[in-house]
Structure 1
Amino acid sequence: MATPVTSIEETEAALLAKDGPSYELVDGELRERNVSFQSSRIAGFVMTVLGSHVRANRLGSVTDSELGIRIFDDPMTTRKADVAFISAARAPRGDQGFLRVAPDLVVEVVSPGDKASEVRAKVDEWLHAGVRLVWVVYPEAREVHVYPAEGRASILSGDDQLTGGDVVPGFTCGVAAFFPE
């Protein structure tokens, strides 16, 4: 559902609200994010597995879907990734509100209400804005689609190994680790 923005204050309040629905600002319209129990749960698994590796190796920071990211050509667009990784070298210092640098990795977990065309458009937006790697997790298919900024996309499932490449050095895990039994 999209709602035209009527004021900056209203927009900021909706984007930063901790209670109620989660919103993104897309082309000047507030859009409620599609979130389900299953997609939230899987985002938690991804965050745990990725976050453990990042913390153990002091690679940077892993964030959840509450962080607004303003890195797009259109100043009236603020997105939220289900999970994001920002390397230590690029992470902002202190609390600066919205993130204004491109994460190195963005993870999107598809919810039942998400449209394939919108998911693909969001991947393209992330890559165009400077994100180096995007993982799209499909819970129903138990797949992870991998979109590097340079190179070919791939689809992983089952026993396939997902790696962070040069974006998240040393990270590797089986795709099955992201899906509950």
Structure 2
Amino acid sequence: MGADLTQAGDAEGAVAALEEERARITAFLAAALRGWINHQKLGGVLLHAPEPMQREGGRREPDVVYLGPATVQHWGVRFEHGPADLVVEVVGPGSQAGDRQEKLREYALEEVAECWWVDPARRTAEVHTLAASGAYEPVPAGDPPRMRSVVLPGIWIDPAWLWAELPDEAKAFEAWGLA
């Protein structure tokens, strides 16, 4: 019995640690993207949902959403009017294996132009762009590996920044020549 309680406590601790890491990565990406968007004077709105939420109709709300200037004019308060330009999903510890395909399918149906998929447990970070076929295609990471946006040209994320104990957008700003 004692071993079962210890294992359960260890599992809960691991889940809590992954959730904390997920929150740090989400906050970092929101701050880094906001800094880039503001510095480049791109306009639009960057929304950061610090807690996972569900949209009306059961659809999920992404962790970070970017609406370009043309898109933001058509949006309501609760993501009701048209696709986002870019969404970021940072996978939480409770996500099921099928969530990835389901979410990407949802975003493709909503015609979201670009989706960033970050999985802290697997240490993977990917960018997908919506092709003319209506399906997402991965954006090559390149050498050295980077998350490179098509929607926000010129921005890139070094995956090592995501896995740092305390991800720091100042490092990104410096690497991008914004500091």
| TM-score (normalizing by structure 1) | 0.67
Deviates more, 1:85-94 or 1:142-151: 85-94
Structure with the largest fraction of helix? 2
Deviates more, 1:61-70 or 1:102-111: 61-70
- Mapped to 2, the partners of 1:82 and 1:92 lie a distance apart of 21
Structure 2 unmatched ranges of 5 or more: 1-17, 166-179
Whether 1:107 and 2:91 are equivalent positions in the alignment is no
User: Alignment partner of 2:72: what SS?
Assistant: coil
What residue is the counterpart of 1:80 in the other structure? 61
What residue is the counterpart of 2:154 in the other structure? 170
Structure 1 unmatched ranges of 5 or more: 1-34
Q: 1:154 to 1:140 in 2, by over 3 A?
A: farther
Letter in 2 for 1:40: A
- RMSD, matched Cα: 2.8
Q: 1:137 to 1:158 in 2, by over 3 A?
A: farther
Contact 1:86/1:104 (<8 A) preserved: yes
User: Larger C-alpha radius of gyration, 1 or 2?
Assistant: 2
1:118 CA displacement:
1.6
Identity, in percent, stands at 24
Letter in 2 for 1:122: K
| TM-score (normalizing by structure 2) | 0.67
Whether 1:129 and 2:110 are equivalent positions in the alignment is yes
Residue by residue, what CA displacement relative to the aligned partner does 1:128-175 show, whole Å, maximum 9, x if unpaired?
A: 11101111101122211222101632575994122111x112212312
Count of residues paired in the alignment: 141
Q: 1:126 to 1:144 in 2, by over 3 A?
A: same
User: Alignment partner of 2:45: what SS?
Assistant: strand
What residue is the counterpart of 2:122 in the other structure? 141
User: Alignment partner of 1:36: what SS?
Assistant: helix
Q: How does 1:148-163 map to 2 (within 5 A)?
A: 148-150=129-131, 152-153=137-138, 156=141, 159-163=144-148
User: Structure 1 residue aligned with 2:77, among 94, 97, 106?
Assistant: 97
Query: After TM superposition, what 4+ stretches of structure 1 lie above 3 angstroms from structure 2?
Result: 66-70, 154-159
Whether 1:56 and 2:39 are equivalent positions in the alignment is yes
Letter in 2 for 1:127: A
User: Alignment partner of 2:60: what SS?
Assistant: coil
Structure with the largest fraction of strand? 1
Contact 1:107/1:134 (<8 A) preserved: yes
- Mapped to 1, the partners of 2:74 and 2:102 lie a distance apart of 30
1:104 CA displacement:
0.6
- Mapped to 2, the partners of 1:47 and 1:63 lie a distance apart of 8
